[in-house]
Amino acid sequence: MKKLLNKIISLLPIVLLSLVLAFFVWFSAVNSKDPTEEITYNKPIPIEILGQNPQYTITEQSVSNVTVTIKAPRSVHNALANDMKLIRATVNISVLQDGYAELEPEFLIGIKPAKLVDFNPKTVNLTIEKLITKTFDIVINQIGNLSTGLEARPARLDVREVQVTGPESRVSKITELLATVDMSTIIGSLNKQVDLIAVDEQGNIVDGVTINPSRVTVNIPVLQRGGYKNVFLALVPLGSPAYGYQITKTEIIPPMVTVYTNSLSQIESVPDLIETTPVNLNGRDKSFEQVVTLNLPAGVNLASDVEIIVKITIEPTITTKTIRGIPITLMNTPEGFDVMLNITTVDVYLTGPTHLLAELTAQNLTVEIDLSDFKAGTHQVNPAVILPAASINYLIVPDTVEVRLQPR
């Protein structure tokens, strides 16, 4: 028994060495299949702010993302590449109040094994301010002038005052909350929602604050003065554009004018739509604009000196055309070869401006195949159509021609 025990003891170093060697063989095998790598991820990781006191706000933050370098097996890197949300960068500001702070992000990697090797930038600089709320009256800011013949009554608001919340340094700058209305665009009584804007004493907009409510309804009664009337304008065209062209858009600027008459009874009979003097369109093939006058009833005049302009957009009409049996022209045929085609003519379907297609016939339309780079053999080739303008589209039927080059 003692001999057996001594023999076992004598073999222990060999057994331990074998175990160590077996472990290294196993580790090398595993590591060769899933090697450890160090990779820098250029995709930015957003910095999460934790523990923010709702009574404070961040007014300045130097960076909002970081990049990281991670050491991990290749399989872990593959998982991270597919889901970068596994890496979290956080900054805890629960103990901070007013002032400036320089903090280092903390990281959590939601997959193992993985080690954070490096990250950039190293710190996040924050400025934190206390939030305050202040109540302001609303000022209706009327800009521009009403059209002649209109009269505005006092404006009304559905809300007279609102609350503004934000950093103390910004809220303290606010002197007025403006509801701005452009009076020059009003043609009748106004009842619309208007966005509120906070401004300082110089009239500059104060950003970074929350206005509640952010919109208010402004009501401005607008009356027509006696002897005045707003009328819309209608274009009177004369003739037609050139062949192959069409009118695609017309515009009158301004679309409405104010007229007046000394007779209150006559103003009631003035139509709501007043025509322009005729605008000659004969032979036109380009867009144009022109100053026009109005056909106003006798005794009725424009309330102000306004220039009336018509803008007319003219574009080519688009049509289709089919030209059949166009011969195929061979270009740059190699010397010493005979060329054989499975077909010698094609049909061409064209789409484009009418005036251009009208000039195209089988006699002046060319379908060609360029043989510059062709060698002996059989080739499937798409012919090309030579067209006078890029605005013409075409379809060749059949679209493929079999070309056979054979040495003589």
Rounded Cα gap, residues 170 and 147, in angstroms: 38
Q: What is the pLDDT of residues 36-90, one digit of tens each?
A: 999 999 889 999 999 888 888 888 889 999 999 999 999 998 998 898 899 999 9
Q: Quote the pLDDT of residue 226.
A: 65
- Flag whether pLDDT at 262 surpasses 80: no
Q: Quote the pLDDT of residue 23.
A: 42
| Percent share of the chain, pLDDT over 90 | 48
Instruction: Give the strand order in the sheet containing 228-234.
Output: 273-275, 228-234, 256-260, 301-302
* 149 or 140, higher pLDDT: 140
Domain positions in the chain are 36-122, 133-224, 228-316, 318-407
CATH number at 228-316:
2.170.120.40
Q: What is the pLDDT of residues 18-37, one digit of tens each?
A: 454 444 434 444 445 789 99
Q: Is the pTM of this model over 0.75?
A: no
| Percent share of the chain, pLDDT over 70 | 92
* 195 or 148, higher pLDDT: 195
**pLDDT band with cut points at 50, 70 and 90 for residue 246:** very high
Lowest-confidence pick of 261-265, 280-284, 366-370, 403-407: 261-265
Lowest-confidence pick of 38-47, 207-216, 226-235, 238-247: 226-235
Lowest-confidence pick of 23-37, 138-152, 154-168, 238-252: 23-37
Q: Quote the pLDDT of residue 371.
A: 86
C-beta separation of 107 from 119 below 8 A: yes
Q: Quote the pLDDT of residue 12.
A: 57
Q: Quote the pLDDT of residue 281.
A: 94
Q: Quote the pLDDT of residue 25.
A: 36
Rounded Cα gap, residues 297 and 261, in angstroms: 10
Cβ within 8 Å of residue 136, ≥6 positions away:
161, 162, 163, 164, 174, 176, 177, 198
**pLDDT band with cut points at 50, 70 and 90 for residue 292:** very high
Query: Domain 36-122 adopts which CATH fold?
Result: RNA Polymerase Alpha Subunit; Chain A, domain 2 (2.170.120)
Smallest CA-to-CA distance from 290 within 314, 270, 267 is with 314
Q: Quote the pLDDT of residue 135.
A: 93
Q: Quote the pLDDT of residue 9.
A: 56
- Flag whether pLDDT at 198 surpasses 90: yes
Residue 246: C-alpha distances to residues 9, 241, 316, 351 (Å)? 108, 6, 6, 16
Q: What is the pLDDT of residues 329-370, one digit of tens each?
A: 888 888 888 888 899 899 999 999 988 888 888 888 889 988
Classify each residue of 70-80 as buried b or exposed e, where b means 16 or more C-beta atoms within 10 Å of its C-beta: bbbbeebbeeb
Average confidence (pLDDT) over 368-395: 87
Query: Domain 318-407 adopts which CATH fold?
Result: RNA Polymerase Alpha Subunit; Chain A, domain 2 (2.170.120)
CATH number at 133-224:
2.170.120.40
Q: Give the containing element (helix H, strand E) for 90.
A: strand 87-92
